[in-house]
Every structure is written in structure tokens, then in C-alpha cells.
Amino acid sequence: KQEVTQIPAALSVPEGENLVLNCSFTDSAIYNLQWFRQDPGKGLTSLLLIQSSQREQTSGRLNASLDKSSGRSTLYIAASQPGDSATYLCAVKGGTYKYIFGTGTRLKVLA
């Protein structure tokens, strides 16, 4: 059974720092991995999707990597800003129509 873990559960950093969020999964047979952002009381917004054949994807200050063999993905945020404060979730898609979500990392960027 696929399990997805995100560590740390919460993170506080000063503005301007570069930071890395981690996502690990137990079954490497995935179709893709997606990173989402969730603001309090809101829905999820897709940030990046990495297909199983890809190693990384970039969008602006965000870079996500995927290492299927080790069951790990990282989300790198460059030059963090207070507006980046949110919960970040990763989700893997297996051979069905289901995504398995991690519990998220709650990020706070201090001004």
C-alpha cells in the first residue's frame, strides 16, 4: 500500500532564505507526483507536476525534483517571501485513478 510522508510537519524561516520541503513515498511505481499549495480554509492549488519519466520541473522560484528509485521528491523554494506562507502538500498517482496525499508541511516565512 502506497504511503506518502512529508517532513517536517512545520517550518519557520526568515524572509529571503532558500528552503527545501521533502516528500517520500514507499512504492516507486508511480505515474506522476504533484506538489500543491493550500492556504488556510481554501482549496488546493497545483504548483508543479513531475511525470514519472522526468527528474525535475521548474516554475519561477520553485523547483521540484523526483527520484523514483529512492522514493523521494523535494520542493525547492528560492528567496522565500511572506506570501509563500501556506501548507504544501505532495501527492503521488499510482496505477489507478487515485492520488495518495501526504499530510503536508506548514510553512511560515517571517518578514
Partner 1 sequence: DGGITQSPKYLFRKEGQNVTLSCEQNLNHDAMYWYRQDPGQGLRLIYYSQIVNDFQKGDIAEGYSVSREKKESFPLTVTSAQKNPTAFYLCASSTTPAGGTTDTQYFGPGTRLTVL
Q: Is 93 in the site for partner 1 (CB under 8 A)?
A: yes
Could you tell me if 91 and 100 are in contact, meaning their C-beta atoms sit under 8 angstroms apart?
yes
Cα distance between residue 23 and residue 103, in whole Å: 10
**The three three-digit cell numbers of residue 111, written as one number:** 518578514
Q: How far apart are CA 71 and CA 52, in angstroms?
A: 11
Please tell me the total number of residues recorded for the chain in this structure: 111
Applying CB under 8 A, the span of 13-21, 51-59, 64-72, 75-83 interacting with partner 1 comes to: 51-59
Q: Which of residues 63-92 bind partner 1 (CB under 8 A)?
A: 89, 91
Q: Which is nearer to partner 1, 37 or 80 (CB)?
A: 37
**Chain residues that interact with partner 1, rule: CB under 8 A:** 4, 31-32, 34, 36, 41-46, 49, 51-53, 89, 91, 93, 95-104
